[in-house]
Amino acid sequence: MPQELLLQVTPEIAANELLLKEHLSKQLKVSVNEIQHVSILKRSIDARQKTVRINLKVVIYLKGEPFQETKFQIPDYKNVANAQEVIVVGAGPAGLFAALQLIELGLKPIVVERGKEVRGRRRDLKAINVDHIVNEDSNYCFGEGGAGTYSDGKLYTRSKKRGDVTRILELFVAFGATPDILVDAHPHIGTNKLPQIIQDIREKIIEFGGQVLFETRLTDILIKNNEVEGIVTQKGDTILANKLILATGHSARDIYELLDRKEVFIEAKPFALGVRAEHPQSLIDSIQYSCDYRGEHLPPAPYSIVKQVNGRGMYSFCMCPGGVIAPCATSPGEVVTNGWSPSKRDQATANSGIVIELKLEDFKPYAKFGALAGMEFQKSIEQKAWDLAGQTQKAPAQRMIDFTQKRVSSEIPKTSYVPGTTSIEMGQVFPEYLTQILREGFTEFGKSMRGYLTNEAIIHAPESRTSSPVRIPRDLYTYEHLQIKGLYPCGEGAGYAGGIISAAIDGEKCALMIAEALK
């Protein structure tokens, strides 16, 4: 009978199959040759002590015990070319996984995406990085795969109560992701590998009768008697269907404005906002692993930190070990920062959003915008950053200690942010109360992580697209909009997800609810 064990080993043992078998043979008091196979079920790093250990959950198969390698396969989809149609707006994880689920349920998805296919997006990313040109329909946020495709591909989620996380991860593996994402405590595909997986998902949708329309932006939703009838695109085309999954992402401001104009009920939602801080990865390694050199068997160290400052939560967000900072504006005249890591996480720098939780009361100066007050607050910060940094995609930047001491940095070293930086006193970018929280918060961070508060660290502004500033209300059980029949608000853009996995889960659930309604 295969044995399941929990154990703690050195990084060297965890990384070497033979060393692991030797370790287990001593523990089980059997010969190494008796161990047929070791399956690693879960893997995490324990860096709480001076000597870093790897936690493993393993299953050991001795000779003679049945073992079969698990193969993850794409579901047995049937062709839905002639089935009932459902419009899916947005080809991010929510939209793509909704489309796959619709096919599995015998319904035909028509996926409408404002941006370009995943490969075509690259030219527009180069344009924003090198030429400071922002394409409003194709950028780091818009296009096939959504914001996650070219901004890291993190698969970690705390949303395990929302749905079947394992199912989503197994689907990713079936479409080409490494099986390690099923094992690691904080799974990550990497920006360099995710595009091919996204492309394969799209090709599967088309193969089984679904449609995917790129460079097709939604400009109107046809509604009659509070029921969806279809949509109109910027090309003037009308697509008719009485079921619509709206999965447009947290940066599709034109969609919020459209809903507001049509008096479709939406509401302001708190979100978080701050800066993106970049450190040398070697410094973060030394802090987290308590060593001068992490060695070849430990990955670049991440960090997670939370503090309460003046009654507000200030915390790290979307931490990218061995990663870079990217320009994520979606319109000309604004600066937005985000971070990503390649699959190997082999860049020399580490970065993380350091953000402060906002409250609805913070949006009072923008009360005339109603449900869009938070969005307008967000826009004002991004536009101010653009102005202060020189009206290009350069980002306002400051050394971390200089910021805490209200001192303009005399010079900013080259950072991973390709468009470049402009030395600014960061207090000019944010309202005074947020600036003060950031100053005090970084000081507190430095007390918890010795060495974190340093002028080697450069903060870039703003990190402002942490989540949607608007919620599109829906029924708790049917997922249908509270006012408009046939409209299914979905994913991050509707306020119901916070990352690739939770968005994919929400997309599947919306598809399931539509199938249930059509019975």
Average pLDDT over residues 149-161: 65
486 neighbors 480 (Cβ within 8 angstroms): yes
Determine the straight-line distance between the first and last CA of the chain, rounded to whole angstroms. Answer: 45
252 Cβ partners below 8 Å, 6+ apart? Answer: 90, 114, 142, 493
Contact between 370 and 450 under an 8 Å Cβ cutoff? The reply is no
Q: How many residues in the chain?
A: 519
Q: What is the model's pLDDT at position 163? A: 66
**Cβ atoms 249, 496 nearer than 8 A:** no
Half-sphere exposure of 70 (CA within 13 A, CB side): 12
DSSP H/E element including 35: strand 35-46
For residues 198-213, average pLDDT = 97
* CATH top-level class of 3-62: alpha beta
Determine the average pLDDT of the residues in 125-151.
91
- Measured in degrees and rounded to the nearest 5, phi and psi for residue 307 equal -140, 150
Closest CA to 330 of 413, 245, 256, 230: 256
Question: How confident is the model at residue 158, as a pLDDT?
Answer: 61
- SS3 label, residue 320: strand
Closest CA to 461 of 278, 273, 275, 272: 275
**Average pLDDT for residues 378-399, to the nearest whole number?**
98
Question: SS3 for 260?
Answer: helix
Do 463 and 354 form a contact (C-beta atoms < 8 A)? yes
Instruction: State how far the Cα of 370 lies from the Cα of 378, in Å rounded to an integer.
Output: 14
Q: Record the tokens describing residue 412, joined without a space.
A: 């900013």
From 502, 514, 495, select the one nearest 248 (Cα to Cα).
Answer: 495
Tell me the pLDDT tens digit for each residue of 329-374.
Answer: 999 999 999 998 888 889 999 999 999 999 999 999 999 999 999 9
**Does 151 score more than 80 pLDDT?**
no
Give residues with Cβ within 8 angstroms of 275, minimum separation 6: 337, 353, 354, 355, 426, 438, 459, 460, 461, 462, 463
The tens digit of pLDDT for each residue in 126-135 reads: 999 999 999 9
DSSP summary character for residue 124: H
pLDDT of residue 194: 87
Whether omega for the bond prior to residue 270 falls within 30 degrees of 0, making it cis, is: no
Q: Which amino acid is at 196?
A: Q
Q: At what angle are helices 93-104 and 500-517 packed, to 10 degrees?
A: 40
Cα separation values, 380 from 288, 312, 377, 393, 460, Å: 36, 21, 5, 16, 16
Residue 254 Cα distances to 146, 250, 251, 261, 480, angstroms:
16, 11, 9, 10, 21
**CB of 437 closer than 8 Å to CB of 427:** no
Is the confidence at residue 267, as pLDDT, over 60? yes
Nearest to 201 by CA among 71, 78, 101, 86: 101
CATH code of the region 85-265+473-518: 3.50.50.60
**Residue 159: pLDDT band by 50, 70, 90 thresholds?**
low
For position 160, what pLDDT does the model report? 53
Model pLDDT, residue 217: 97
DSSP code of residue 296:
S
Please determine, for residue 187, whether its predicted confidence score (pLDDT) is greater than 80: yes
Distances (CA, A) of 172 to 72, 78, 106, 234, 503: 9, 20, 21, 32, 14
The angle subtended at Cα 166 by Cα 164 and Cα 170, nearest 5°, is 125
- In this prediction, residue 1 has a pLDDT band, given cuts at 50, 70 and 90, of confident
State both tokens at 54.
Answer: 């790897």
DSSP state of 148: G
Q: How many CB atoms lie within 10 A of CB 373?
A: 21
Is residue 488 pLDDT above 90, yes or no? yes
Segment 429-455, tens digit of pLDDT: 999 999 999 999 999 999 999 999 999
> What is the rounded distance in angstroms from the CA atom of residue 338 to the CA atom of residue 504?
21
Q: At 60, which helix (H) or strand (E)?
A: strand 53-62
Q: 3-62 and 85-265+473-518: same fold?
A: no
Q: Which helix (H) or strand (E) holds 327?
A: strand 324-327
22-40: buried (b, 16+ CB within 10 Å) or exposed (e) per residue?
A: ebbbeeeeeeeeebebbeb
Q: Using the predicted structure, report yes or no on whether residue 519 has a pLDDT greater than 90.
A: no
pTM: 0.95
Quick check: 453 and 210 in contact, CB under 8 A?
Answer: no
List the chain domain ranges.
3-62, 85-265+473-518, 272-463
